[in-house]
Amino acid sequence: MGDSLPAVELGNERTAKAIAAGSDHTCAILDNESIKCWGSNNAGQLGLGDTSNRGDNSREMGNYLPAVDLGSGRTAKAIAAGNQHTCAILDNASIKCWGANASGQLGLGNTSNRGDGSNQMGDNLTAIDLGSGRTAKVIATGGSHTCAILDNASVKCWGENGNGQLGLGPSISNRGDGSGEMGDNLTAINLGSGRTATSITTGTG
């Protein structure tokens, strides 16, 4: 450790502003508000259009490591990493997620992974429908679920719900894995009369 531990090579003169670590992958928002991810990539959680790991061999980091394509003109403001998925709040306060999606944790109305094949990222990756006029302020990712604090200080969660981790009362059905489950159809969590959220965290479920 200490001086014997090298810093991660992010690219020529690039530095980090924020970092998130999943089970086996790591992502950072750089000083130019781009995102670079490295580590395990079996489900496309690095967002590079393939399933090849990065950072485990020479010439894979620094300038060799591509930034995640977030879409035309889009940059990142916040990032979170789950077990095998990654989510970012973009400069327009929308959310995009990529990687594993078996439980609907990407919030796209299906269970298809994103980021593990060509033409899945960038403008081809749909932003999550948070509801009419709603945008995101804070993002958190659990093992197979995702939660966000919205601009009105409410909380919405989607993905795996077998233990009630989405906070939707008696229902333990997953959300975001089928059509018509997101947007205005996704109920905000009942935090109590007059209560709103200021921060959020997620567990492994």
Q: Which segments of 27-111 does DSSP mark as H helices, in order?
A: none
Q: pLDDT tens for residues 128-155?
A: 999 999 999 999 999 999 999 999 999 9
With a CB cutoff of 8 Å and minimum separation 6, the contacts of 198 are: 149, 153
Could you tell me what percent of the chain has a pLDDT over 70?
A: 100
**96 DSSP β-pair partners:** 88
Asked whether the whole model's pTM tops 0.95, one would answer yes
The three-class DSSP label of residue 80 is: strand
Instruction: Please state, in angstroms and rounded to a whole number, the distance separating the CA atoms of residues 65 and 164.
Output: 38
Q: How many CB atoms lie within 10 A of CB 150?
A: 21
Q: Which two tokens stand for residue 155?
A: 């909380």
Query: CB pairs under 8 A, 24+ apart, for 188-197?
Result: 188/150, 188/154, 188/155, 188/156, 189/154, 189/155, 189/156, 189/157, 191/154, 191/155, 196/152, 196/153, 196/154, 197/138, 197/149, 197/153, 197/154, 197/155
What pLDDT tens digit does each residue of the chain (205 aa) get? Answer: 999 999 999 999 999 999 999 999 999 999 999 999 999 999 999 999 999 999 999 999 999 999 999 999 999 999 999 999 999 999 999 999 999 999 999 999 999 999 999 999 999 999 999 999 999 999 999 999 999 999 999 999 999 999 999 999 888 999 999 999 999 999 999 999 999 999 999 998 7
pLDDT tens per residue, range 103-122: 999 999 999 999 999 999 99
